[in-house]
Structures are given as C-alpha cells and as structure tokens.
Amino acid sequence: MEFINGSQQMSSEASTTNPGTKFYSFLDAKTGEIKTRKVPSKKQANPSNWQRNIRKTANLLGKSYVAPNGKFKPAKVMGQMCDSNCRLNCRDRVTDQIRQNFFNRYYSILSLSDKYQFIIKYTHNDKIKRRSENPKHKCFRRYFIGTGIWENGGESMIRVCQTAFCRTLAISTTKVSTANKKLWNATCFDDLRGRHNKRVSQDVVEQKLDLVKDHIKTFPLNSLIPKMYEIYCEDMKKRRAKTSLVATIEIYTSIFEENFKLVLEQLKKDELCDLTDDENDFDESKICDMNVSVQNHCDESIKNDTVNPLESVIEPEFYICGSPSIKVEEALDKCDEEPVKVMTDDTKPKRKIQSDPSKWKRNLQKLANLHGISYERSDGTIKPAKKIGPYCKNCRMNCESKVSQSIREEFFKRFWQISSIDEKYRFVLRYTKIVDKKICTKENSRRRFTRLYFIGTNSWNNGNENMIKVCFRTFHNTLAISESIVRKAYEKFWDKNEISMQDFK
C-alpha cells in the first residue's frame, strides 16, 4: 500500500457528503485504483471515567469502592451517639433526624478543601483557661452540629462532645486536627493527594520486570533464588539503577516461579529400581521408552546443562491459556555418547540442618532485652543497656536515708538476672501491694486503690524477707522500669484472680 501526496484532490463524493470529515487518498496495490479513507480521529481522554477518579469520587461521597491494592472499602455509615454518661447530654439534645441531615450534608461535598471548610465551620477553638507549665494542647476545641435552621442570618447549632461529632460524620479526630492545622498554618486547602513523586508509572514497572527476566536467563534453572537475588542486587548497583527499578526478593521469586522454573516429574523409588540392574547400570531400552513431561513455559531459559542428558526439548505443538505446553522426549543417540549419572550414597543430598532457635537473631534480641543488655533493634537502632536510676528528690518518705546504694544495686541485679517475662511480673507483684484508699474525695472515683512499693534487702527473718517501703519514683528508678510494667502485671492478676502469665512476645 502506497500513500499519495496530500496535495492531490480528494474524491468528490467524500467531500460533498461529509464536509467536516478529513480524508486521505491512497493507491490500492491489488486493483491499482485510487481510494479515499477517513483519517482516524484521536480518542479524547475522559478523566471522569478513569478508575482512580471513580475511586476518589466514591471516597468523597462516602460510598463503597475497591482500593488499588484490592481491598474492599465499605460505605460510610453514621455511628452511634455518645454514651449516656456524657456531661453534655448529647443524646437528649440532638435527634437522629438532625444527625442524619448533618451526615448527608457532609458527604454531598465533592471537594476535600470544602470538607475541611465544613469541619472548621462547626468547630471553634478557644484559649485554655488554666495553663500548666508544659501544656500538651495550645487551645480548647468545641464541637457543634448544625440543625439546618437559620435564625437572624445564622444557622442554629447545638454543642456536642468530640465523640458525638466524629461519630455523626463517621470520621476520626485526625481529620479534624488536619483541618485546623491547615487553618493555623495558613496553608492551601487544595487536594494534593496522589501527586507525590513516588508514584511509579507502568513503563517503570515493565522495565523493572524486564531487567529481572534478563538477569534470571543468565543462570541455570537449578540455582538457588537467594543467591541469585544477591547477584542481582550487585548487578543493579554496578549499573547504578534507580531504586524504583530494583525489585524486591518477593517480586524476584514470583517472576522466577511463574516464567522460568521447570518442574520435572520425579520418578518413584520403585520405578527407579526397575530401571536398574544388579550392577547399578541403566537399562537403555526401558529408559528410552519413557517420556518426561515438563510443566513450564519459557523455552528461552532452557539450556543443555539444565536438562537430563537423555532428554531434549522439541518445539511446542500447541498453546494452552497463552503458554506453550513443552514436551520432552528421549534422545537415543545420547544414550551411547554421554554417561548417565547414578545417584549413590556419596552423591545423595545431605540431611537438612536442624534449626537452632537459640541462635536466631530475634531470640538473641529478646534475651538481651530480658537481661537489660545493650543490643541492636530490628530497625538498626541501638538499645542501650539498663542502668540503675537516681534517688527521688524531696521525698516525704526519706528513701535516700533508708535505702543504701548497695541494697538498690543488689535489688537491680536480682531483677535483671531473671530470663522470663512471667517471672519478672511475679517479682514485681512480690514487692508491690494494693490497699484501699484512706480518703475518697469522689463517690464514683476511677481510682479506688493505692499501690505501695517495697525494696527487698535479701535478709530473711522468720521465713519472710525484710523489705523497706519506698516511694513510687525510687522503686521504678531502682529497677529501671516504667509504670506500664507494674500496670500490666496487675492487669493480668485482676483479670483471672490469679497470676496466670505467659510470654507472648
């Protein structure tokens, strides 16, 4: 087919019937006639039909959708009201109809910036009336629910608690704090999600897969995948490839298993004995009558040194589901030329090495943590060794005068010599005691008990160890532990009315 210069005139029929359509003329090689054909128009992009925009719209409207990673995201549903013990009595002052209308108004907004403006409109930030030395919060936030009724140029709103506000809109407190941070920092409210530089295009993904396939083809098929991956990483470093083009070991393994790994049918032990005689030599007539099927797909990666010398690969005869079914047949000529390797006691694979959990890195880290020794965490940071802390300051119990430093050091060593977490909990429970409060200021106080702390002197009298009562800070500084260790020990104690503790770390 040959194209004619565009300066030639188009056919009169095409120009008269479709004046707005573009045509081009060409010479038909079979008939020798000049014909006209419509110029194909470029397909215009419709971003509203893109999958990522459909997911984004469904997310803004609170509808269900499927995330890019394949997970199903359910639709947003208005949550329950706050508990009946709320001091603002939100349950009695706000009806379900008002909450449902407020919920529908929020999820009818199709812009993230407008959603932030909606949240800011119904949250007010006030100054803290009583400030401490190091306050965690710079302001106090009030929450309101709009009734949709306008009076004197403004909408009437009902004040509610934080729980009622977030459950009504089916959002988290992070969404509220993010909206207020943007307001304080005077940053733009534009939706910049998904516009970071870490997005990987499809071309980069295909290029990464091609690099992995090219590297695998350089190895025999019986190689070890971890060793191949190490060489692959070194090769990528020599090429100075970008990090986005370097595949992980999971991707490397999946590509190897799907495209390159041959799975040969293994002979049973009885069948192997039938093929051999008393002198451990193969009977060639029986071997040559057998066909071995291969269950993999890439004939490019098959090499002579990776297939049995009695077998040769022929071209695929047909395709199943897009992948060729390769047949391996016997090569009679090679039976006389090349010797056949027989598996003897010396060539048999060695027994699998038994695992030793005591030498595992995670168990060594756990043991070092239990003994308070310095070790390297999994993220690469160094965990320092445990050290005994200082005495308390200005203590009304005068712990520094009652407990000597030698007693504290011995008490510290006794605790960190224990190599089991349940025994550590028992140690803490042995030297702490829970008693009732002497003075209760409130009827419904959350803390009904008080805790007493003791340090053991390791001297015994009438079968009981002599202990010295100390304050909370001295006890924790002596053992170099936090309050959570004591709290966890008592949580397990109060749940089952007995000390039933098991290390699930």
273 and 304 belong to one structural domain: yes
Is residue 53 assigned to a domain? no
Q: Is 47 inside a domain boundary?
A: no
pLDDT reported for residue 98: 92
The order of strands in the sheet holding 2-3 is 2-3, 23-27, 34-38
- The pLDDT value given to residue 480: 92
Answer yes or no: do 252 and 277 share one domain. Answer: no
* pLDDT for res 85: 87
Both 380 and 399 in a single domain?
no
Tokens of residue 163, six digits: 């729980």
Tokens at 424, concatenated: 């550590």
Tell whether 450 and 413 lie within a shared domain.
yes
Q: Which residues contact 390 (CB under 8 A, 6 or more apart)?
A: 477
**Is there a single domain that holds both residue 228 and residue 140?**
no
Q: Is position 107 within any domain? A: yes
Tell me whether strands 34-38 and 23-27 are parallel, antiparallel or unpaired: antiparallel
Q: How many residues does the chain have?
A: 505
Residues 486 and 471 in one domain: yes
Residues 383-437 pLDDT 10s: 899 999 998 888 888 888 889 999 999 999 999 998 888 888 889 988 998 887 7
**Judgement on whether residues 396 and 492 belong to the same structural domain of the protein:** yes
Give the separation between CA 116 and CA 169, rounded to whole angstroms: 12
- Does 22 reside within a domain? yes
Distance, in Å, from the CA atom of 301 to the CA atom of 324, rounded to the nearest integer, reads 14
pLDDT digits (tens, 9 = 90+) for 19-71: 567 777 777 777 878 888 877 777 778 888 888 889 999 999 999 998 888 88
Range of the domain at 372: 357-384
Whether 366 is covered by a domain: the verdict is: yes
CB 2 within 8 A of CB 11: no
Same domain, residue pair 213 and 242: yes
Kindly state whether residue 44 falls inside one of the protein's structural domains: no
Q: 397 and 317 in one domain?
A: no
List, as own/partner pairs, every contact residues 326-330 make where C-beta atoms lie below 8 angstroms and the sequence separation is at least 24, other chains included: 326/294, 326/296, 326/297, 326/299, 327/291, 327/293, 327/294, 328/291, 328/292, 328/293, 328/294, 329/291, 330/287, 330/288, 330/289, 330/290, 330/291
Query: Which of 108, 113, 120, 114 is closest to 176 using CA atoms?
Result: 120
Q: Which two tokens stand for residue 431?
A: 């030297």
Measured CA to CA, the distance from residue 240 to residue 172 in angstroms comes to 43
Three-state SS at 449? strand
Q: Is residue 161 part of a domain?
A: yes
- Rounded to two decimals, the pTM is 0.36
Is 459 found in the same domain as 491?
yes
For residues 194 and 188, give the distance between their C-alpha atoms in angstroms, rounded to a whole number.
16
pLDDT of residue 159: 93
| Residue 109 within any structural domain of the chain | yes
Residues 124 and 170 in one domain: yes
Contacts of 7 (CB under 8 A, 6+ apart): none
Q: What is the pLDDT of residues 320-345, one digit of tens each?
A: 333 333 333 333 343 444 444 445 55
Q: Which residues of the chain have pLDDT under 70?
A: 1-20, 131, 133-137, 184-204, 219-223, 260-352, 440-448, 493-505
Rounded CA separation 71/491 (Å): 36
Instruction: Copy the structure tokens of residue 384.
Output: 């320092």
Say if residue 417 is in the same domain as residue 489: yes
How many structural domains does the chain have?
Answer: 6
